[in-house]
A and B are shown apart, each in its own frame.
Chain A
């Protein structure tokens, strides 16, 4: 059945900002959909508020709306663009929920827009807990026993029937938000209350706990002819009770007999048919009771999901692309298998390797968060590894995670580093309660002599997986014995066996006595000819020849497939490697993947053969057709150098993947990798505080007074010299890790107590903190001799809040032209001096008339995609061309400092996933993603950014105000404006008095300790619509923290800085005056081409 001719324009919904549970996998799926449908001649209208996505590149769709994904906004776009169909299944839960709202509001019916992919009735059936259970019963499948509840009273009734422990699952949420396992009544009450709050339809399911059961997922694809295929089976290493997103997962399923697997397959197919997803991908989750084999269906997602991205990368089968094609009428049997090119997409991939996915968490960013893993997803990213066996894949995953592990074991500074200290008694609680480091405790348990059976009893991890890990422990002992006489004593056979089991050169080095480096192991290994071979991911276990160079390394094999019958090996083409960013984490995510993808695109256009090395399955960069060759490998010295050795590249790009490849730069260069772009020496010069201070002084650039300290007394001396408050942090970090503002000596001492790991090599950096300064971010692009400004952004929050957590405006909205020119000129000067070839990001602080430089990073920054979208220039692409020798003039970059509109970037935080964590912002980055609001006026652009970031900006109602004494005077005119807009003002005593004195009518409420009803009651009852709460820098007033936490859990916007209050008011003002208008990026860019003032 060919494509549908009755459709012309298709609206694709994106997933918005990166949040926990919804990351770049939906950029990947959206990009595939846009490409596939445009190639078929459809006109594509796209909405996504996330500027860091490839899908919002203006070339990807005909009309690209970077606007908030709310039903109201999408309705407006529908009215404007009149699409024939809306495709909501590729943009995660956000898109699905938005489409359902549009359906419920009657918008789709009114404008005759057909929902394709999944119909509203199917979505309702799959997402509504009760409907789903009934549907499963109709087809003879069993779900866990459960009861629905819409009120606390109903929840308690449900509990009587289900009993404790039980699982609480809110309806229509993503990533298990608000859910959890309750073991006692108190937990039950708490989780239910939270769940009812967070569920879109105030619905929770109270379900029998099946924690400890084996957990599986099947990725199912169906076409309108009712052909159904299973793309991939996934088995969770961590049993039921840990959210799939937080579980280590393995593909294919390892411990099911064929009979068991086929019953599960039958169930998955019956499920997609009964739910009625007519076309596209879904995933179905199952649990199996390990003793009896009893199988229950847990849930089904009637859309492409994080697991589909994983399944696509694990098998090579492009689920999102196929799903998009099926949605417009194709059937599976008429679509080609892109990997083999000679077979069809209607088949089930079979894989001849093992895939392990390992989640990455960010608990270090939220020290007070509950780090126990449960039914609510908490991880922020993941790494995938492909190996010849599970053991090899697991070790690759562990070292690819970039958490200091070099594999299974050998983790400096972890509890199990000294196994002799760990007794089984001490270990058991860590086995029973899953946390981010449970894998390390499993290792500790083996080292302490615990058996597979005992570890299984505590963890419920399937004995097969434990047995595999035990083999690694056993081999480690063999390796230690073999290496007892040093590296030279390691024979080829011993080395090869270690490598086949996935041991890294670093692990082997650590097994040798004395100081042996990974480089020495590598040399020894190469001398003995112990090298990896690269094998292809081909969907068919080599049954058919394939030409797609999607490769992974393994030592379990002798035949290497690089260059054998692959399409990329055009003779004479120079190869350039782009190193990706590895797993997403806070501070390093989709923005850097965006840059890597752009680099690959630019190099391909230039005629190079592009080679991507990355380990993150969620990304566009690891799509097999983004580059000419894809090596799915951990980003370590060893794994990258192996690729370098194998393909002898002309250049290696380390500038685009964030800190990960930069950290490798020196090692790679010293061992012969031909790095291109800004030299390692320049990168190091920017990192070396002393060198750098000298350099900028020479350039006439000011810096806040600062110093370095290798020990505590030195740090205190520096602080005394420059004066408090000071900003302290370790060197070589990203995302402001462990960065804090301290206000006095006691604060600094306390900081050093908590962060002891500084030294001569990794000193502590102490800077004078510029109170109440305006921070400015500049992205520059340079070719080694000339430098141009890509974009200049004024932060809305004042200095001291990490730039990634700060909203910012492009162009600046308060800075004078003179200051802007000064900042630009100094940035250019710095870029020239550092001989930057490619991108550089510089952060400045403006206090009064003075400009200070805070930080310079000669690499792609987090803001590159945002700036590129705003100024209509693909900076990352341009930078890649510069790195390969072109000049700015050849590339055609222009400076666009003044724009006829405002683009506002606003961060999105994961606080709702971490109950009770303080939401106060500081120098340590905590946001997971960002949105862009774009409009002709600052206020409207800011309002869009706020709404896009998920804040419900009020247009009327009560505003609660509580500010520190220093702010009381400055806040008055702002509150007066709110009053003028018709808001009622509520405040606690101190602030209320100040407002009253200024003649602003105010209603006084109790502080928490003053009696009831107090401020928290107002928040919990959602009587206030907006909270203004500026905390005191030095010591927190007791109520502040509770107020902010309550605001997060009740989804009331809470503003903590005066600058943001002012911007918010401008946003509300513009919104109250007239409804927000929508305009596609292509039109904004057209304005630039004709009207922009360029300097």
Chain B
């Protein structure tokens, strides 16, 4: 059931619960498990455009967090029986275990076109076939919008902790770089960080302390880190005032690297504004052009908000842009050791083209340390 009253009937799988969420589509052809466990999807119901989902099951290595965060999953056809040596469970059981409902047998392309043409809207997934449609629509319309809720606080860690896992999986790419000499120590703000970001930081030779989203700058500085990382996360960056405040204090003192929501927060910190896109970028094939070299990297993306380039002061340079629609994909402060990207260099899921950015962060840390 869509907010506009459209009713689609499919087959339920996963958890037998009713949920609402804002519908987004993701065009990745692989990596559903990473998507399911990505905290950035909190409050959203995810439609996957690849018709067959669940083919290779789920495994413990490919989780991007300890649980599933999305409200619901919409697919063309959910696989009954997985086939992959790494698989430990079936998709449907995994969803059920984590309390997430799924629906298949849906014209996913039609829904994708709907979202593309009319923007993201709220949807209800329900097994309730007795309640009249009019009442169901009310339920959808009463559901909170993503922008109304601070999802970051809900997904962030409640206490600071060390993260020490790197690329342990034999299916990881080679580490994109390694710090020379003493391992730099960084503090990573967890706005809903994907594990592969943390793994990538560790694999690059960093000591990583993960802190809750609302940690004040002073508490970070007390740890005397060499740098700060701002993670990805769900929802509207503008309502994360606490994060913007902390980061504003930190950018003057330490090298800072931000990804996705972290990038948007830096956008605010550096004097810019963000806006909600019609349907965002969610997929693994977004071309991003490095404006200094003219080279294009194919990137993994998942965002519904973007930094407005016209809002940025002269002190900030747009380093990367989306080749298709020209939206801002990367920022750099002209004087301060601060940079960020809208896309996901850690991939998971998606191409590894942008892994070099972690090396760039390490180099920045080393350069500032000297």
A-side residues, CB < 8 A to B, are 140, 225-227, 229, 233, 252-263, 265-266, 290-293, 332-333, 342-344, 346-354, 388-390, 452, 462-464, 467, 471, 535, 540-545, 556-559
Tell which of B13-21, B207-215, B228-236, B282-290 binds the partner: B282-290
The answer on a CB contact under 8 Å between B298 and A348 is: yes
Question: What are 8 A-B contacts with C-beta separation under 8 Å?
Answer: A252-B30, A262-B350, A333-B296, A344-B324, A347-B285, A349-B285, A543-B116, A556-B105
Within 8 A of A (CB), among B26-60: 27-31, 33-34, 49-52, 55-56, 59
In the complex, which of the residues A227, A257, A540, A559 contacts B56, with contact meaning CB atoms closer than 8 Å? A257
Query: Known contacts A255-B84, A262-B351, A556-B76: does B289 contact A333 (CB below 8 Å)?
Result: yes
Once the chains are docked, how many angstroms separate the CA of A559 from the CA of B8?
A: 12
B-side residues, CB < 8 A to A, are 25, 27-31, 33-34, 49-52, 55-56, 59, 61-62, 76-77, 79-86, 105, 107-110, 112-113, 116-117, 169-174, 283-287, 289, 294-296, 298, 323-324, 347-352
Q: Which residue of B lies closest to A337 (CB)?
A: B324
The answer on a CB contact under 8 Å between A348 and B110 is: no
In the complex, which of the residues A390, A541, A556 contacts B49, with contact meaning CB atoms closer than 8 Å? A541
Sort A-B residue pairs by CB-CB distance and give the 9 closest, nearest first. A258-B31, A559-B110, A258-B349, A464-B83, A541-B49, A557-B107, A259-B171, A348-B285, A352-B49
CB distance from A744 to the nearest CB of B (A): 58
Q: Which residue of A lies closest to B87 (CB)?
A: A257
CB contacts (< 8 Å) of B81 on chain A: these are 452, 463-464, 467
Query: Known contacts A252-B50, A262-B352: does B86 contact A347 (CB below 8 Å)?
Result: no
CB distance from B17 to the nearest CB of A (A): 25
- Majority SS of interface residues in chain A? loop
Query: Known contacts A467-B81, A559-B109: does B50 contact A543 (CB below 8 Å)?
Result: no
Once the chains are docked, how many angstroms separate the CA of A354 from the CA of B28?
A: 14
Once the chains are docked, how many angstroms separate the CA of A88 from the CA of B222?
A: 64
Query: Known contacts A347-B287, A347-B324, A348-B298: does B31 contact A467 (CB below 8 Å)?
Result: no
The answer on a CB contact under 8 Å between A556 and B296 is: no
Q: Which residue of B lies closest to A347 (CB)?
A: B287
In the complex, which of the residues A229, A261, A462 contacts B30, with contact meaning CB atoms closer than 8 Å? A261
Once the chains are docked, how many angstroms separate the CA of A292 from the CA of B84?
A: 10
Once the chains are docked, how many angstroms separate the CA of A462 from the CA of B52?
A: 15
The answer on a CB contact under 8 Å between B113 and A542 is: yes
In the complex, which of the residues A229, A467, A557, A558 contacts B80, with contact meaning CB atoms closer than 8 Å? A467
CB distance from A467 to the nearest CB of B (A): 5
The answer on a CB contact under 8 Å between A257 and B27 is: no
In the complex, which of the residues A225, A262, A352, A540 contacts B108, with contact meaning CB atoms closer than 8 Å? A352
In the complex, which of the residues A140, A225, A226, A389 contacts B52, with contact meaning CB atoms closer than 8 Å? A389
Q: Which residue of B lies closest to A543 (CB)?
A: B27
Other 13 A-B pairs with CB < 8 A, given A256-B56, A390-B51: A226-B295, A257-B84, A333-B294, A343-B324, A347-B285, A347-B298, A350-B50, A350-B283, A388-B76, A389-B52, A541-B112, A543-B283, A559-B113
The answer on a CB contact under 8 Å between A464 and B55 is: yes
CB contacts (< 8 Å) of B107 on chain A: these are 556-559
Once the chains are docked, how many angstroms separate the CA of A291 from the CA of B112?
A: 36
The answer on a CB contact under 8 Å between B51 and A354 is: yes
CB contacts (< 8 Å) of B296 on chain A: these are 225, 227, 332-333, 346
Once the chains are docked, how many angstroms separate the CA of A263 from the CA of B349?
A: 12
The answer on a CB contact under 8 Å between B298 and A229 is: yes
CB distance from B82 to the nearest CB of A (A): 7
The answer on a CB contact under 8 Å between A253 and B323 is: no
Query: Known contacts A352-B51, A354-B51: does B109 contact A541 (CB below 8 Å)?
Result: yes
CB contacts (< 8 Å) of B289 on chain A: these are 333
The answer on a CB contact under 8 Å between B52 and A542 is: no
CB contacts (< 8 Å) of A343 on chain B: these are 323-324
In the complex, which of the residues A229, A257, A291, A463 contacts B33, with contact meaning CB atoms closer than 8 Å? A257
The answer on a CB contact under 8 Å between B352 and A346 is: no
CB distance from B287 to the nearest CB of A (A): 4
CB distance from A486 to the nearest CB of B (A): 27
CB contacts (< 8 Å) of A258 on chain B: these are 28, 30-31, 33-34, 62, 284, 347-350
Once the chains are docked, how many angstroms separate the CA of A253 from the CA of B30?
A: 9
The answer on a CB contact under 8 Å between A350 and B171 is: no
The answer on a CB contact under 8 Å between B30 and A225 is: no
Once the chains are docked, how many angstroms separate the CA of A770 from the CA of B59?
A: 72
In the complex, which of the residues B84, B112, B171, B287 contacts A346, with contact meaning CB atoms closer than 8 Å? B287
In the complex, which of the residues A292, A351, A543, A544 contacts B85, with contact meaning CB atoms closer than 8 Å? A292
The answer on a CB contact under 8 Å between A347 and B286 is: yes
Interface centre among A233, A348, A462, A557 (most CB of B within 10 A): A348
Once the chains are docked, how many angstroms separate the CA of A333 from the CA of B284?
A: 17
CB distance from A530 to the nearest CB of B (A): 15
Once the chains are docked, how many angstroms separate the CA of A265 from the CA of B355?
A: 14
Once the chains are docked, how many angstroms separate the CA of A741 from the CA of B347?
A: 66
Query: Known contacts A229-B298, A348-B285, A352-B50: does B62 contact A259 (CB below 8 Å)?
Result: yes
Interface centre among B82, B85, B105, B174 (most CB of A within 10 A): B85
The answer on a CB contact under 8 Å between B56 and A542 is: no
The answer on a CB contact under 8 Å between B85 and A333 is: no
Query: Known contacts A350-B27, A464-B79: does B172 contact A333 (CB below 8 Å)?
Result: no
Q: Which residue of A lies closest to B294 (CB)?
A: A225
CB distance from A492 to the nearest CB of B (A): 13
The answer on a CB contact under 8 Å between A293 and B171 is: yes
The answer on a CB contact under 8 Å between A225 and B173 is: no
The answer on a CB contact under 8 Å between A390 and B56 is: no
CB distance from A210 to the nearest CB of B (A): 16
Once the chains are docked, how many angstroms separate the CA of A390 from the CA of B105?
A: 14
The answer on a CB contact under 8 Å between B284 and A348 is: yes
The answer on a CB contact under 8 Å between B49 and A542 is: yes
In the complex, which of the residues B29, B117, B174 contacts A350, with contact meaning CB atoms closer than 8 Å? B29
CB distance from B200 to the nearest CB of A (A): 13
In the complex, which of the residues B51, B61, B83 contacts A259, with contact meaning CB atoms closer than 8 Å? B61
Once the chains are docked, how many angstroms separate the CA of A535 from the CA of B112?
A: 13
Once the chains are docked, how many angstroms separate the CA of A388 from the CA of B49?
A: 11
Once the chains are docked, how many angstroms separate the CA of A540 from the CA of B55?
A: 21
CB contacts (< 8 Å) of A229 on chain B: these are 298
Once the chains are docked, how many angstroms separate the CA of A545 from the CA of B172?
A: 35
CB distance from B8 to the nearest CB of A (A): 8
CB contacts (< 8 Å) of A344 on chain B: these are 287, 323-324
The answer on a CB contact under 8 Å between A541 and B27 is: yes
Once the chains are docked, how many angstroms separate the CA of A225 from the CA of B296?
A: 9
In the complex, which of the residues B33, B173, B295 contacts A262, with contact meaning CB atoms closer than 8 Å? B173
CB contacts (< 8 Å) of B76 on chain A: these are 352, 388-389, 556
Once the chains are docked, how many angstroms separate the CA of A258 from the CA of B61?
A: 11
CB distance from A561 to the nearest CB of B (A): 8
Interface centre among A253, A257, A543 (most CB of B within 10 A): A257
CB distance from B321 to the nearest CB of A (A): 11
CB distance from B155 to the nearest CB of A (A): 21
Once the chains are docked, how many angstroms separate the CA of A262 from the CA of B84?
A: 16
Q: Which residue of A lies closest to B297 (CB)?
A: A227
Once the chains are docked, how many angstroms separate the CA of A262 from the CA of B344?
A: 14
In the complex, which of the residues B80, B83, B294 contacts A255, with contact meaning CB atoms closer than 8 Å? B83
CB distance from A3 to the nearest CB of B (A): 17
CB distance from A419 to the nearest CB of B (A): 23
Q: Which residue of B lies closest to A538 (CB)?
A: B109
Once the chains are docked, how many angstroms separate the CA of A346 from the CA of B51?
A: 24
CB distance from A821 to the nearest CB of B (A): 61
CB contacts (< 8 Å) of B51 on chain A: these are 352-354, 388-390, 556
Interface centre among A140, A262, A545 (most CB of B within 10 A): A262
In the complex, which of the residues A254, A263, A342 contacts B55, with contact meaning CB atoms closer than 8 Å? A254
CB distance from A558 to the nearest CB of B (A): 5
Q: Which residue of B lies closest to A556 (CB)?
A: B76
The answer on a CB contact under 8 Å between A257 and B352 is: no
Interface centre among A354, A389, A535, A543 (most CB of B within 10 A): A543
CB distance from A817 to the nearest CB of B (A): 64
Once the chains are docked, how many angstroms separate the CA of A535 from the CA of B108?
A: 11
Once the chains are docked, how many angstroms separate the CA of A332 from the CA of B297?
A: 11
CB distance from A4 to the nearest CB of B (A): 17
